[in-house]
Amino acid sequence: MAEDQTLKLRLRLNSAQGVVMGPGRAELLASIAETGSIAAAGRRMGMSYKRAWNLVESLNNSFTAPLVETAKGGASHGGARLTALGEELLAAYHALESAALHAGADALKRFDAVLAVPPTRNPR
């Protein structure tokens, strides 16, 4: 895919209950893995701790086992980390995203070639 391509493919996995994984949730999981903190991951993404925590709860409730484990703060300094399932599903999401981008590259180029520049929005 060309760097200057206007269109971007964003992969979002939905269940009957709603979104279970998408670019934002994957980024949050990756940030938690890197920082060891839900608060730090949220700050890194420009979201409040409450929003980050709500997304973690949603992720944990969407699967048969939690994706993120937390430890209370205090003397032990608390924190958060991905569970084995969280690491596995984050890697699987990135693999699926990469495969979709590769498989859809020609179709995206075709759409991009006929896209009005700058893109216009349809009035509601």
Residue 99: partners with Cβ closer than 8 Å, 6 or more residues away: none
Residue 117 domain-assigned (yes or no): no
Averaged pLDDT for residues 62-88: 89
Residue 121 domain-assigned (yes or no): no
Output 37 or 118, whichever has higher pLDDT.
37
- What pLDDT was estimated at residue 54? 97
Residue 88 belongs to domain with CATH number: 1.10.10.10
Q: Is the pLDDT of residue 119 over 80?
A: no
Residue 8 domain-assigned (yes or no): no
Q: Is the pLDDT of residue 3 over 70?
A: no
Residue 116 domain-assigned (yes or no): no
How far is the first Cα of the chain from the last one, in angstroms, to the nearest whole number?
A: 31
* Range of the structural domain that residue 69 is part of: 13-108
Residue 44 domain-assigned (yes or no): yes
- Tokens 């929003």 correspond to 51
- What pLDDT was estimated at residue 12? 96
Torsion of CA 115, 116, 122, 123, to 10 degrees: 170
Q: How far apart are CA 58 and CA 21, in angstroms?
A: 10
Residue 5 domain-assigned (yes or no): no
Q: How far apart are CA 26 and CA 92, in angstroms?
A: 10
Residue 26 domain-assigned (yes or no): yes
Judged by phi (left if over 0) then psi (alpha if -120 to 50, else beta), residue 66 lies in beta
Output 27 or 5, whichever has higher pLDDT.
27
Q: Is the pLDDT of residue 85 over 50?
A: yes
- Tokens 């391509």 correspond to 5
Which three-class secondary structure state does DSSP give residue 124?
coil
Q: What's the domain count of the chain?
A: 1
Residue 118 domain-assigned (yes or no): no
Total-model pTM? 0.83
Q: How far apart are CA 42 and CA 53, in angstroms?
A: 8
Tell me the average pLDDT of the chain: 89
